[in-house]
Amino acid sequence: MRRAWRWRAVAQPVALCLLAVALCWWTIGTFSPGFMSNDTLYQLRQALGQVPLSDWHPPLMSLLWGWLISVTGTWASLLVVQVVLLWAALLTISLVLLRSTRSFALAVLALAVGVLPQVLGIAGVVWKDVQLAVALLAVVGLCLLARRWRRNPWVRWTLVPLAVVLLVYALMVRKNSVFAILPLLYLVAHAWFPRSRWRAPVAVLVAVGALTWGTQALVEAQARPQQTHQLAQVMIDDIIHVVPPAEIQAAHLDPDLTARLLQAQHVCQRRTSLVNAYWTCYGTGENGPFTAVAHYDEIQAAWPGLMQAHLGDYAAYRWQAFSMFLFDHRDTWQPGVGTNDLGIVVDHPRMAEALRYYVQTFAERDVPFVFGAWLWLAVGVGLMVRARRRGPYRAVIAMLGLSAALYVLGYAPVVPATDFRYVYWPGLAGSLGLLLVLAQRTELAARNREEAPS
């Protein structure tokens, strides 16, 4: 019996590692050199220095990509980092659950999270939303790892800085990720300093804030990204859908801006476009796509007064747009690499096509609800309620649920579009949270069996 236990103690972790490596290799091969939308291709041009760096897309991500390309010589490098981080985080969680619950099946389920259609479908798309999600997943993995070796100061003080760096990167690639990050700040503090009530969370918050400020200042000083005033995009959407044409004309705006707003209203009405009106109805920036919004100063000055005069219509529009965001399951698949003049194509189109069959079968026929923002909002709330019960993963389950729910709700005033990528982190966090609920029950049952009198 002892020999069998020792064999399993070695063979099972090795089997999990081999499975994770195989899945990671397969994921990279399927998506290579990385699926890329127009947004991604523009970031790649910034990384290559072909177009000026701007803040429409996260400058830090473009700079990281450029550095990786200079070191490796391939634009697939960021895909590799993204996918390796995803599977490394899932493997860490898997090994921790194996050690805690002694259930090999449960450990395999942790890796299976990575092949769920709502997770795998865009895991290899080079988007800031995916970068955000894998960074936060890695933070959760580090927290679970620290929980197992909390008494070891070397482990604790090695992993704390790494978790803080990942949180800072997540915050800098997507500004609205602050809603998702706040609960994880507590989780990091709780994982390493469980006896501290307020000092550890404050210390982690200060560390993340200081490092974010310092990194942002360094990027602006060295790279000098152009300011695009992207928030004006949301204000344009509001004006187009809320303010009547006569009032736009009477607002004494620049004649060119007035004409563009009125034309955009007409186009949106014809296309019945409710969200993303800046791209579908209004046009582009001063010097083309992803450049500074023209007349942003006038837009920002006029927006408060125009919305105040139509508060009821503004609230109704935003509620309608958020409802569409919650319940519309469109744009669940990125079709490979967009049209480009760089010669970038998918390396293995048949593997990519096989993945499309898998994802779209679930998205369009079998379980389309797994791509719905409403589901992961509900799962997030459910995890917080479930976390009221005591258990070894109580804090992790609660913070995952809160992070998922806050991130979905954070889109209420600024819904950009209905793409699933905006719900990628809540879908990943909710899936992991449900797994940890099962793991908690398994671990508690195992403890009860060990403590029961023979």
| DSSP codes of every residue in 381-427 | HHHHHHTTS--TTHHHHHHHHHHHHHHHHTTTT------GGGGHHHH
Beta-bridge partners for 434: none
What pLDDT, on the 0 to 100 scale, is given for residue 443? 79
What pLDDT, on the 0 to 100 scale, is given for residue 196? 67
Angle at 154 between CA 151 and CA 155, to 5 degrees: 70
| DSSP codes of every residue in 50-65 | SS--BSSS-HHHHHHH
Measured distance CA(136)–CA(431) in Å, rounded: 14
The CA-atom distances, in angstroms, between 430 and each of 105, 329, 384, 396, 434 are 20, 17, 11, 11, 6
- Token readout for 66 is 């450029």
Long-range contacts of residues 196-205, Cβ cutoff 8 Å, at least 24 apart? 204/164
Task: Give domain limits for the chain.
Answer: 2-225+341-449, 231-327
- Token readout for 140 is 């959760």
Instruction: Mark the ranges of the chain whose per-residue pLDDT is less than 70.
Output: 1-7, 150-151, 194, 196, 446-454
| DSSP codes of every residue in 200-255 | HHHHHHHHHHHHHHHHHHHHHHHT-PBP--THHHHHHHHHHHHS-HHHHHTT---H
Measured distance CA(124)–CA(120) in Å, rounded: 8
Nearest to 425 by CA among 446, 403, 397: 403
Reduced to 3 states (helix: H, G, I; strand: E, B; else coil), residue 288 is strand
Model pTM score: 0.94
Beta-bridge partners for 36: 337
What pLDDT, on the 0 to 100 scale, is given for residue 175? 87
- Token readout for 315 is 């609230």
What pLDDT, on the 0 to 100 scale, is given for residue 454? 52
| DSSP codes of every residue in 153-178 | HHHHHHHHHHHHHHHHHHHHH-GGGH
Using an 8 Å Cβ cutoff, are 275 and 237 in contact? yes
Cβ neighbours for 383, distance < 8 A, ≥ 6 positions apart: 397, 398, 400, 401, 404, 430, 433, 434, 437
Angle at 207 between CA 206 and CA 210, to 5 degrees: 80
Residue identified by tokens 């001063």 is 286
Cβ-count burial 4-35 (b if 16+ within 10 Å, e if not): eeeeeeeebbeebeebbeebbebbbebbbbbb
CA neighbours closer than 13 Å in the CB half-sphere of residue 263: 11
Dihedral sign computed on CA atoms, order 173, 174, 180, 182: positive
Reduced to 3 states (helix: H, G, I; strand: E, B; else coil), residue 198 is coil
